[in-house]
A = this chain, B = another copy of it.
Amino acid sequence: MKAQIITIGDEILIGQIVDTNSAWIATELTKLGFQVQTMLSVSDEAHEIESAITEALKSVKLTIVTGGLGPTKDDITKTTLSRLFQMPLAFKQEVYDDVVSFIERRGGKMNPLNRDQALFPEGAKWLKNRQGTAPGMWFETSGSVVISLPGVPSEMKGIMMDEVIPALKNHFPLPSTIYQTLMLTGIAESHLALKIEDWENNLPKGMKLAYLPSPGIIRLRLGFTSDNPAKAQEIIQQEIEKVKPIIVKFLFSQTEQSLELTLVNLLKNNAKTISIAESCTGGNLSHLITSIPGSSSVFKGSVVAYSNEIKTRVLGVDSVVLDTYGAVSGQVVEQMAQGTLRLMESDFSIATSGIAGPDGGSVEKPVGMVWIAIATKNQVLSKKFQFGTERSINITRSSLAALNWLREVLLHETFPDN
């Protein structure tokens, strides 16, 4: 069953606000089994709204419209829909009472603009708004449903949860689509595509696969539509079991769990603590870990050793080693990891040192070269990575590479002494 989402508002079209309503509604409609065919944003003008809805009615059974329902003059959705569906506006006592009671609960006063909110299209169904004063509306016209909701996200979500979703389940009983997302790191999109080409070509009919890349992370999403959600889940699970051996080295989550949360959970489960010494990542690695609530039980602290002076004085890096090999070297990053481990008395430590860019690169050590080390009491290892030229992406990718390496170490016990 096809659906369309229409958002109304000049503030969207000039880029002043990002439309987050459409994604939220799309997630809910997809869960219900609808296929969102298009999302459309149009301006606050009657003819634009009218023509968008007229077009939608030609190809979809459900149209959800948000925006243009506030009490101010630039909000004209209600009068436009009333005219389009030939359902004249009339004063509706129960909507009026609801608006009055909402405003009184907030300690406010009714004004003429609020009174107009009780003008309601005759023949439309009222969708009660518990978070604001603009009522939602449900129109039925020659087998199609058009729903109009306020654009304020909290009001839109409230009416969707309380009124729209239960009513849609009742009105359109549908097969639903089950999705599952695999999260991978440490591999480029095109390399992953080649690795899993055979598997992808042999996916069962009806299985949809999408690659969703962001710097350092690829989300691989499988989707299957069926009348039987348990069966769809089983079919997806079978395919995941087939592809897992091929991608195990890169796969860190089979839910939408972030890499930092995965690592914090692993450390908790193993009752291990970490500390960090950051040079090129400049605090971002610590920030990722501490963005997880409860990370304090595994994360002791870190030193951002941005200058060489701090590397030697605070972390105890040997100044001869620093002069001989340079700050971006396996030798130095290993001593940084060992230094923070001693200082923080943690079970594991991670250290990073590299050239984030845009300046500071050379032929031997180009921008994007990053050394990462992991240390325990008895062992230290380091690895060299080569990322790109953009500073912020290099910082992100270095941080993710470090988190992922420690994840592998914890899983595969590369450090038998711990």
Q: List the B side residues contacting A306 at CB < 8 Å.
A: 290, 295-296, 299-302
| Contact, CB under 8 Å: A302 / B283 | yes
Of A136-144, A386-394, A410-418, which binds chain B?
A386-394
Q: Is B41 in contact with A22, judged by CB distance below 8 angstroms?
A: yes
Given A293-B391, A343-B314, A74-B191 contact (CB < 8 Å): no
A209 CB-CB contact with B under 8 Å? yes
Contact, CB under 8 Å: B13 / A37: yes
Q: A111-B190, A189-B72, A359-B293 are in contact. Are A15 and B27 (CB under 8 A)?
A: yes
Task: State whether the Cβ of A73 lies closer than 8 Å to any Cβ in chain B.
Answer: yes
The segment out of A121-129, A210-218, A242-250, A316-324 that lies at the interface is A210-218
A238 at interface by CB-CB < 8 Å: no
- The answer to whether A271 has its CB under 8 Å from any CB of chain B is no
Indicate whether A169 reaches chain B with its CB closer than 8 angstroms: no
**Judging by beta carbons under 8 Å apart, are A179 and B14 in contact?**
yes
- On chain B, the residues within 8 Å of A174 by CB distance are none
A20 within 8 A of partner (CB):
yes
Question: Within 8 Å of chain B (Cβ to Cβ): is A285?
Answer: yes
Cβ–Cβ contact A287 & B287, under 8 A: yes
Which residues of the partner chain B approach A296 to less than 8 Å between Cβ atoms? 306-307
Q: Do B27 and A23 have beta carbons less than 8 Å apart?
A: no
Q: List which A189-225 residues lie within 8 A (CB) of chain B.
A: 189-191, 193-194, 200, 208-215, 221, 223
Task: Kindly identify which residue among B16, B70, B304 contacts A301, using a CB–CB cutoff of 8 Å.
Answer: B304
B15 touches A74 (CB 8 A): no
Closest residue on chain B to residue A109 by CB atoms:
B191
Q: Does A287 contact B283, Cβ atoms closer than 8 Å? A: yes
Bound Cα distance from A286 to B283, whole angstroms: 5
Q: How many residues in A have their beta carbons less than 8 Å from beta carbons of B? A: 116
Chain B contacts for A283, CB-based, 8 A: 278, 283-287, 289-290, 302, 304
Q: Are A70 and B213 in contact (CB under 8 A)?
A: yes
Q: Which residues of B contact A70 (CB under 8 A)?
A: 189, 211, 213
Contact status A15-B24, CB under 8 Å: yes
Question: What's the minimum C-beta distance from A304 to chain B, rounded to whole angstroms?
Answer: 4
Binary per-residue interface labels of chain A (17-56) against chain B in the complex, 1 for a CB within 8 Å, 0 otherwise:
1111011111111100001111111111000100010000
The reply to whether A23 and B19 form a contact with Cβ atoms under 8 Å apart is yes
- Asked whether, in the complex, the Cβ of A26 is within 8 Å of the Cβ of B15, the reply is yes
Whether B210 lies near A16 (C-beta < 8 A) is yes
Q: Which residue of B lies closest to A208 (CB)?
A: B10
Shortest CB–CB separation between residue A309 and chain B, in angstroms? 7
Chain B residues near A30 (CB-CB < 8 A) = 14-15
Is A186 an interface residue, CB under 8 A from the partner?
no
Binds B, one of A82-90, A100-108, A159-167, A228-236: A100-108
Q: Would you call B358 and A293 a contact (CB within 8 A)?
A: yes
When chains A and B are docked, how far (Å) is the Cα of A313 from the Cα of B294? 22
Q: Which residues on A are within 8 Å of B, measured CB to CB? A: 9-20, 22-30, 35-44, 48, 52, 70-74, 105-108, 111-114, 131, 133, 152, 154, 177, 179, 181, 188-191, 193-194, 200, 208-215, 221, 223, 276, 278, 281-287, 289-291, 293-296, 299-307, 309-310, 313-314, 343-345, 356-359, 368, 386-393, 395
Shortest 3 CB-CB contacts between residues of A and residues of B: A282-B290, A283-B286, A15-B27
Interface CB pairs A-B, < 8 A, 23: A10-B208, A13-B37, A14-B27, A14-B179, A15-B28, A15-B29, A18-B20, A19-B19, A22-B41, A37-B42, A40-B41, A106-B387, A282-B287, A282-B291, A283-B285, A283-B289, A287-B287, A291-B395, A300-B306, A300-B310, A301-B306, A304-B304, A314-B344
